[in-house]
Structure 1
Amino acid sequence: MARSSQPTGIHEDPGLQPERTTLAWGRTMMALATVSAIFLRWLPQHGFPIMLLFAVATGAAAAIYFTQRRRYSASSQGMVKESVDADIPAVFWTAVAGVMLGGLGIGVVLFTS
């Protein structure tokens, strides 16, 4: 039985940019989920305001999870068309979540200590 030389994915080179980008977003999502679990451990020490941090981290992780398929599809299609556009809104909102986590974290520590 002869092997087909036809690729199984949308683009011709599996392991290329769309897959690496998907892995990077997956690591970001897992980091946010891990951090949100750590925030829950701080709940007895800092009280209810820590739930704001938990909500932001969990929301950002969920947003990445639910938009991952769209991002991968757009990137794969861009590889076929030889024109891949950056996902500026995803990067922007992830940066906003990071700044919010930093600001809220400082606020929670300062006002609950």
Structure 2
Amino acid sequence: MTTDSTRPSHDDPGLQPERTDLAWNRTMLSMMASAGVFLRWLPQHGWFAGCLIATATITTVAIGLGRKRRLQRAIEGIHQGIVQPPAATVTALAASVITLSLLGICAILFNSLAV
């Protein structure tokens, strides 16, 4: 079995960095699924649904672009004995999810008021 020399290694038997990376992958998948749900709203809500789709897509791309850096930082943290959580990333993701939730609720409420 050959090992990938470009992939950083660590001595964590629990594979914590890999599990965390998989969790971020699931988060990306959830955001893509949300964008798919918002696609169904396009005929009814128009540009408003487009904003929801754009927000979910931008969040997905941002998570994807930072994956390698987060994994590398986690592995370096294991070697150094202390792992710093990605507070800015988690805060930005929370803000994105809250924004999507509030905009989704507004779309539902304003649609029910218009009927």
TM-score tier by shorter-chain length is: 0.7 to 0.9
**Range moving further from structure 2, 76-85 or 37-46:** 37-46
Give the aligned residue type for 1:66. L
Normalised by the length of structure 2, the TM-score is 0.85
Q: CA deviation at 1:11?
A: 0.7
> Any stretches of 5+ residues in structure 2 without a counterpart?
1-6
Normalising to structure 1: TM-score of the pair?
0.86
- SS for the counterpart of 1:28 is helix
How far residue 20 of structure 1 moved from its aligned partner, in angstroms, is: 0.6
The residue number in structure 2 matching 1:99 is 98
Distance in structure 1 (CA, Å) of the matches to 2:91 and 2:103: 18
Gaps of 5+ in 1: 1-7
* Structure 1 counterpart of 2:86: 87
Q: Give the whole-Å Cα distance in 1 for the aligned partners of 2:108 and 2:48.
A: 10
Counterpart-to-counterpart distance in 2, 1:25 and 1:105:
23
> What is the deviation of 1:106?
1.4
Cα offset, 1:112, TM superposition:
3.6
Higher relative contact order (CA 8 A, sep 6+): 1
Instruction: Assess if the C-alpha contact under 8 Å between 1:18 and 1:76 holds in 2.
Output: yes
Does the CA-based 8 Å contact 1:47-1:112 persist in structure 2? no
